[in-house]
Chains A and B, each alone.
Chain A
Amino acid sequence: MKKIAESVKQMLPTLTPLEAPEGMTKEEMTEIFYKMSLIREFDSSVKDLWMAGEIYGLAHSYVGAEAIGVGACMNLEKTDFISSTHRGHGHTIAKGGDVKAMMAELYGKYEGSNKGKGGSMHIADIGIGMLGATGIVGSGMPTAVGAALTSDVLDNGSVAVCFHGDGGTNQGVWHESMNLAAAWNLPCIFLTENNHLAIKTKLNESSKETELYKRAIGYGIEGIAIDGFNVFEVYKTMKYAVEKARNGGGPTLVEARFVRILGHFVADDQKYRDPQEEIDAWTADPVRRIKEYLYTRTDMFTQEEVDQIAADARAKVDEAIEYARHECTEPPADSLYTDIYANNEVIL
C-alpha cells in the first residue's frame, strides 16, 4: 500500500490503519466500496461537467470525504434520517439515493430529484430519509434534531444523523442544537466532517480549541474523535453511536478528521493553499485505501473483482449522465408556481 505523507500524519494524529470489523460480510464490504466509488465517480464527473459548462449554479464536491458518509450510513435503516450540508451529493448516495435522479437534478431537469428547483445545494430524497442539502452553513443542524424529536414523540425507534462541517460548528444554531438534543436525550448523532477548512479560513484561525469533539463535554454528552479517512473506523464508531441512540442513550458528537483534498467548490483553484497539501492529501485517499485493502488484506476479493466494482460504479454514473443529457426535459414554465404550497395551492 502507498504510504501516507508525513505532513498528513502530523495533521491527523487520529490516522489509523484500515481494519474491517469482525464478522463484516463480503456483501457489506462490497456495498461500502461500491458506494464510496459511486460518490467518487459522481462528484469527479460533476466537477468536469461544471467546468465544461454543462452543470449550472454552484456545486461542492464530496471527493475525499467518502469514508465518512458511507461509514455512517451503513449503520442506518431507510427509516432513519440524515441532515446534510452544502456538500450533499455524498450523503444522498450513501443513504441510498438514485444517481440518475440526482444527475438530472444537477442538469436542472424536470425529472430531477427536486424537479430542477433545488440543484446541487438542495439535493434531497425525503423518501429515503435524506432531509436535504442546505446552502446555509449550520442551518441543517436543528433539522436533524427535529427528526430525532419525531422519533421520540412517536416512539418509532428511528435515529437521526446530523452531518456538518467544522465551519458549521461556530454557528450559534450548532450549539443550540447540541444543547437541545442533549437536554431532551434525543436519538441524534452529530457527525462533524472536520476537513480543517471553512472555504479559505483554517480551523485554527477560527477556533482556539481545534479538537472539536471536546465540546461535547459542555453539553454533557460523549465526544469521540476518529480518522475520517478510514471507512471502517467511521463505521465502527457510528455503529456504537447509532445503537446507543436507538437504545435511549441520547446524542453523541463524533468528530471525523480528514483533510479537504479538493477546493471549496468545484471550480476553486485553491490558490490560497500550498499545492503540496493537495498532493500529500491524495496519499491518504480513502477510496484507494479501501480498494487496496479489499484485495490485499482480505481473502474475500480478487483484484479483478474489486476493479469490477469500481467499473460498475463508473458505468452507473455514465448512465446517469446520459440520462440527464438525453432523456430528460426542461421544467415547464408553469411548474414555477407548483410546489410552493401543499396540494399545489397557488397564492399570487
Chain B
Amino acid sequence: METYSDVICPFCGCLCDDIEITVENNKVVKTKNSCAISNSKFMKNDWGRIVSSTIDGKHTPYEKAVEEATNILSSARRPLIYGLSKTDNEAIREAVHLAELVGGVIDSTTTVCHGASIIAMQNTGVSTTTMGEVKNRADLIVFWGSNPAEAHPRHFQRYSVTPKGMYTPNGRKGRFIVVVDVRETRSSKMADQFIRINPNSDFDILQALRALVRGQKLSAGEVGGVRIDILEELADRMKKAKVGCVFYGLGLNQSESRHMNVDALYSLVSDLNHYTKFVTEPMRGCFNVTGANMVTTWQTGYPFAVDFSRGYPRYNPGEYTAVDLLARKEVDAALIMGSDPASTFPLAASHYLSKIPVVTLERKETPTSMLSKVVIPVATSGIETGGTAYRMDQVPLKLRKVVDPPKGVFSDAVVLGHIIQRIKALEVDSV
C-alpha cells in the first residue's frame, strides 16, 4: 500500500493540489481532501475502461488501429482535431503538430465553453489575477452566472470564500459575497446577497452598473428585473471594496449576446480599477482547458479554432470552430481526444460526426467512442500519466502519476506521437 500526498486532482479547473491518494495493487483505494467529484474520478478510474483498440467495433491490435487512424487522417481533405481539454500539455503539443501536418483544423472544448470569454478578452483585455491574491486580499466576491458549490466544489474553501489569507485573517467573516444569477442555486444560498436577474439581461445590468460606477444617475426604476437602488448599492459596494473579484461562469457568456456580456463585465472591472483594485476570473470547467488555450496560443498565436489548411495558422471563431465546421459539413474526418462531443454538441453537428470517419482516443465508452470508426484506449491523464496542466488562473502544475495504466495502453501524447511518426513516414515514402 502506498500513499501519495499533494496530488493534483485532474477533474475541474481548480486543480486542487492537496489530494492524498492511497493505492493498493495498482488501484486507488482511498482519497483524502477530495470533493465528491474528485473522489469519484480517482476511485472509479478503472471502471468500464476500454482496454483494447477497435476498428468498426471489432478488437484489433494497437498497431493496426494506429495504421487505420493514419490512413483516415492523411487521406482526409480537411480533418478536424477536437477536444484537448481533459489531457495534458504534452499531448496537446502533439495534437497541434498533427493538425499542422495533415493541414486540418484544431479546436478545443473552449469553443462550446469560455470561447466567448476569450473573444471578449481580445476585444477589451481583462484585469485578472492568480487565486492566491483573492485569498489574501479580496473582501468583495461576486459570483456571476456561476455555481461553484456544484461545479467547482472546493473553490469556496480553497480560494474565494472561506480561506484566511495575509490580509483576510477573518476568512468568511471578512468577505462580502454576492451571487448574481437567474435562479437560486446552492451557491446563492450561502451568499450575503443574492441578486436575481431576468434571463438574458446580463448585458443591460452590467452596462447600468458601469454607468453607476461612473457616478451617473439612471432614470430607469429597474434594469433586468433588479431595482435600481439595489444596483446603486452594488456599484457603491464595488467601488468601496479594498479588493474585489468577479468569478463568472457560463451563465454569463452562454446567455443572449454571449461575448458582449463578458465584454461588458471586463469593461466594468477595468473601470473599477480607477477607484480601487478589481479583478475577474472565468470559472473554467475541464481541468486543462486553460492549458489547451495556452499551448495552441504559444505554438500558433491563437487560443482555439485554428485552421492549417493553407499551411499556416488561421483563426476565426464561427468559421473554424468545431460545431460550425460539422454543422456545415466542412470537414471529412475527425480525431477526438479528451472530450465527448457526441453528447455535448448540437444535434446537427453530432449527427454529421456520425457520418464521417472518426478516430477517438478515450478511456471509457462514450457516445463519441460508439460512433467512431477507430477507438484507441489511452491512459488517464493525471492519474496514470504525469504531464502538465494549467489551473483556471493559468498557474501551471505538474500532474502526478499514481497508478499504472492498463497493460498495452499508452498516454495521449504517445499515441499521437505514433500517428505523427506514421504520417511522416508516409510523406517520405511518397517523395
Do the two chains belong together in a single complex? Answer: no
Residues of A bordering B, CB below 8 Å: none
Residues of B bordering A, CB below 8 Å: none
